[in-house]
Amino acid sequence: MSYQLRRNQTLGDNLRRICQKQVEGALEIVRGEREANDTPVHETRKHLKKARAALQMVSDEIGRPRFKKQDHCFRDIGPADFGRTRRGGALANGAAITGDHRRTSQQTFHKQRSCFWRNWNISWQHLRTGKKQAAPQLEKLQAEIEAWPVENLDCKNIRCAAQRAYKTARHALDCAKTKPTPENFHEFRSEAKRLLCQLRILRPINPLVIGALIDDLDSVGEIFGRSHDLYFLANAYGALIRKPPARETRNWSQ
C-alpha cells in the first residue's frame, strides 16, 4: 500500500513519498483527471487530512516555522468550500429521512426537500470555486514537500510525533467528556482521525497490534461522523420548521 512505510526506503523518503502521493491524489481529483471512488469533496478532504498527518510526523525535523506554514496551507486549501459542500450533502440526505417519516405532511415534506436540495446545489457552486483555487496551492505544496530536509529523520522523531498525536486526542476526549458539546466531540473526532492516519503509516512495524488500534479508531470515527452529520441536520431542520402545524404536533406527541 502507498500509505505506509516501506522497508526499502529511509524514514524521511517514506514520509516524503506518502505526503506527495496524497497531494497528487487531491490534485488529480480537483483537476478532473481521476474519478473519485466516493464524492469528489469527500475524497479530496481525505487526501488532505492524510497529507497533514504525514506532515505532522516530520515536524521536528523540518522545523516548527516550516511545519506551521505548510500545515496552515493544507488546512486552508478550499476549507470553506469543501466543508460547505460536505454539509450540503448532509442536508440533501435529510430529504430522504423526512420522506420516510410517515407522520410528516406532504406539504411539509416538499418544503423540506426543496430547501435541502437548494443547499446542496449552492454547495456544489462553492465547490467549483474551491477547486480552481486549490490546484495552484497544491502544486506549490508539492515543490515544498520535495525540499523537506528529512535525511536524518529517525525512529525517535516518529515516536515523538505519534505520542503527541495520541496525547492531543486524549486531551480532546477529556474535554468532550467534561463538556459534552457537539463541537468538542467533533474536535475529538478530528484528532482521533489524525492519530488513525499516522497509525496506518506505521502499521508495517507491528501489523497485529497497530491493526487492532486502527480498527478501534475507525469505529470511533464512523460513529462520531454520523453523530456530527445528524447534529448539523437537526439544526438545519429546526431552522426550517420552527413550529409544526397543530395537527402534526398532535400526531408527533402520540
pLDDT at 78: 55
**C-alpha–C-alpha distance, residues 113 and 105, integer Å:** 12
pLDDT at 128: 56
pLDDT at 100: 47
pLDDT at 134: 84
| Cβ atoms 191, 168 nearer than 8 A | yes
pLDDT at 188: 92
pLDDT at 50: 96
- Let me know if 62 is exposed, middle or buried by CB neighbors in 10 A (0-12, 13-18, 19+): buried
| Cβ atoms 197, 49 nearer than 8 A | yes
How far is CA 126 from its chain centroid? 18
How is residue 197 written as a grid cell?
492516519
| Cβ atoms 221, 82 nearer than 8 A | no
pLDDT at 19: 97
| pTM of the full structure | 0.75
Nearest partner of 197 among 171, 154, 161, judged by Cα: 161
Helices (H) and strands (E) in the chain, counts: 10, 0
pLDDT at 248: 44
pLDDT at 227: 75
**C-alpha–C-alpha distance, residues 182 and 206, integer Å:** 34
- How confident is the prediction along the chain (254 residues), in pLDDT tens digits per residue? 689 999 999 999 999 999 999 999 999 988 888 776 666 777 888 999 999 999 999 999 999 999 999 999 998 885 444 554 455 555 545 444 444 444 455 555 555 556 555 555 555 455 555 566 788 999 999 999 999 999 999 999 999 999 999 999 999 999 999 999 988 988 999 999 999 999 999 999 999 999 999 999 999 888 887 776 677 666 666 655 555 544 444 443 34
pLDDT at 79: 47
